[in-house]
Amino acid sequence: MPLTRSSRFFYGWVIVGVVALALIVAAGVRSAPGVFIVSVEQDMGWSRAAISFAVSVGLVIFGLTAPVSGRLIDNFGPRRVMAAGLLLTGVSMVISAAITTQWQLNLFWGVLSGIGTGIVGSVLGATVANRWFIEKRGLVVGMFGAATSAGQLVFVPFLAALATNFGWREASVVLGVIVIVLIAPVLLLMRNDPGDIGLKPYGATALTNIVKSVADPDIMKQAVRTPTFWLLAGTFFVCGATSNGLIGTHFIAYAYDCGIPQVTAAGTLAMMGMFNFAGTIASGWLTDRVDPRKLLAIYYSFRGLSLLLLPFVTDPLGLTVFAVLFGLDYIATVPPTTALVADRFGRKNVGTVYGWVFCAHMIGAAMASWLGGVARDALGAYTLAFLAAGVIAIAAGGLSLTIRRQPKVQAALAS
């Protein structure tokens, strides 16, 4: 039954639920290599650097897919794009269970999985939040970030237990089937835009009516000429390097090097996801009330300090404390970053512009993922990688304060 504006329940919250579920599963897929890395190393006899390279390929492709995904969503809507991304992701995980060579690892863990999860887990949340919400936009973006954390919280210990008890190949098949099953609720419940069912974005006012209903095809030509875009991309590059790239890929392996069993380490990483869940929702709430630039400065600086201390933490209790502190701002940077993109470049252009900013994030993640493995193989420890990550995170905190923020009214008019 079509919904009208008079409906008491805003259908956008159903959209939030569907997208959150997709992000949870996509996060599970992206966390799988970090869970399986030791098992694959023991099973196949490949070096950690070689396995990390496959992970980095996936992260690069994930990032490069983001601008394409953003453009497709801006022009064709999220429903079909989500379904296609989930199908590709699920198939790649099922087929990856049969790999026997490194090039196959690079193809299925890297290229195909990267494209699939890049379509679903990169700019989708930011785009949907800005299509369906004017008020509570930061909160919704925070909820989507929390969904990513929930994916880590749910899937990391689940996959670790499966890999330990049955094998990493079997765990890959189970994960792939879960992804494919999710296509059904996406096709049944997802809608592209509030206007499709006779609604306006939540909190829309008379001013909102003057905003164009289509994306600006030349927005990137304008964006790349502004220092704001490059500052957002540069700081988000650091975000990816210090979170998904280094910690997301190598935390379990680092804990294993410290003599901690994989399942225990996976539980600690899941705890990081739990606190990231709380931290990202809180960040979304704060983004609606506090200057996003100040939030980014705090988040990056705090992250940098925690990374500088990590090489000196080698016992289970210390790593648990690190997981709590680091988890609070693991991806808390997402709500303020997307808010700045929307305010500066217009909410109808978030998919495209944030897609390229997110691309920088994943390139940073890919470099840190690979170089972290290289540093570990060459030096026998992750110390240098953690210290370097801490320094660049603190630098990103300082750069965040130099970002120019266009007033919301002007951003609406410019979009």
* pLDDT band, very low/low/confident/very high, at 1 (cuts 50, 70, 90): very low
* Sign of the CA dihedral running 262, 54, 242, 123: negative
Q: What is the mean pLDDT of the chain?
A: 84
Predicted pLDDT of residue 311: 93
Evaluate if residue 271 carries a pLDDT over 90: no
Does 87 have pLDDT greater than 90?
yes
Q: Which residue has the tokens 């995980």?
A: 93
- Higher-pLDDT residue of 150 and 26 is 26
Residue 215 has a pLDDT of: 57
In this structure, what token pair is assigned to residue 25? 């599963």
Question: Which residues 6+ apart lie within 8 Å of 118 measured at CB?
Answer: 61, 62, 63, 64, 65, 66, 69, 85, 362
Query: What separation in angstroms does the CA of 157 have from each of 36, 79, 81, 132, 150?
Result: 11, 30, 29, 33, 12
Reported as a single tens digit per residue, the pLDDT across 333-358 is: 988 998 898 888 877 777 778 888 98
pLDDT in tens, 276-326: 878 888 888 898 889 999 999 999 999 999 999 999 998 889 999 998 889
Instruction: Using CB atoms within 10 Å of the CB of residue 257, give its burial: 0 to 12 exposed, 13 to 18 middle, 19+ buried.
Output: middle
Amino acid 285: pLDDT: 85
Residue 411, CA distances (Å) to 208, 235, 286 in order: 11, 21, 20
Q: How much is the average pLDDT of 207-216?
A: 49
Q: What is the DSSP string of 187-211?
A: HHH--S-GGGGT---BT--GGGGGS
- Give residues with Cβ within 8 angstroms of 384, minimum separation 6: 375
Please tell me the pTM assigned to this model: 0.73
Which CATH architecture does the domain made up of 12-189+214-414 adopt? Up-down Bundle (1.20)
Confidence check: pLDDT of 85 > 60? yes
**Residue 210, both tokens:** 């003057």
**Cβ contact 307:393 at 8 Å:** yes
Do residues 248 and 309 make contact, with C-beta atoms less than 8 angstroms apart?
A: no
Amino acid 214: pLDDT:
53
Q: Show Cβ contacts of residue 33 under 8 Å, excluding neighbours closer than 6 positions.
A: 51, 54, 55, 58, 109, 249
pLDDT at 362: 83
User: Under 8 Å CB-to-CB from 331, ≥6 apart: which residues?
Assistant: 145, 148, 149, 239, 243, 276, 280
- Kindly tell me if the per-residue pLDDT of 59 is higher than 90: no
The token pair at 106 is: 């690079």
Residue 413, pLDDT > 80, answer no
The number of angstroms, rounded, from the C-alpha of 26 to the middle of its chain's C-alpha atoms is: 9
User: Would you say residue 228 has pLDDT above 90?
Assistant: yes
Percent of the chain past pLDDT 70, that is, above it, reads: 92
